[in-house]
């Protein structure tokens, strides 16, 4: 893992077309902005994990349409 220190209004560039900017630091919370092409999906990790689990269940035949709707 690469660990970087950034201050408010400073950025990190990932690849050629993704820029992550620190918008605000307040206590133990950091607000970030992500500028990326629409073709690049961006998820909070907990949502990404739910999507992955739902996909695994769907492949295994264990997910119903109602289960998949709960993810979104």
- The pTM assigned to this predicted structure is 0.71
Question: According to the model, what pLDDT value does residue 56 have?
Answer: 87
| CA-wise closest residue to 16 among 35, 41, 44 | 35
- Say if residue 45 is in the same domain as residue 21: no
- Say if residue 30 is in the same domain as residue 50: no
pLDDT tens per residue across span 13-62: 999 999 999 999 999 999 999 999 999 999 999 999 999 998 888 788 75
d(CA 53, CA 57): 6
Residues of the domain holding 52: 41-72
The answer on pLDDT for 63 being more than 60 is: no
- Say if residue 53 is in the same domain as residue 68: yes
Question: With bands split at pLDDT 50, 70 and 90, how would you rate the model's confidence at 64?
Answer: low
- Say if residue 35 is in the same domain as residue 1: yes
d(CA 12, CA 15): 10
- Say if residue 12 is in the same domain as residue 1: yes
- Say if residue 24 is in the same domain as residue 49: no
């Amino acid at each position: 893992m690469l660990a970087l220190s950034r201050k408010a209004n400073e950025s990190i560039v990932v690849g050629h077309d993704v820029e992550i900017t620190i918008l605000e630091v307040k206590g133990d919370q950091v607000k970030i902005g992500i500028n990326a092409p629409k073709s690049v999906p961006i998820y909070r990790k907990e949502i990404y994990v739910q999507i992955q689990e739902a996909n695994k269940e769907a492949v295994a035949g264990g997910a119903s349409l109602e289960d998949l709707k709960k993810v979104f």
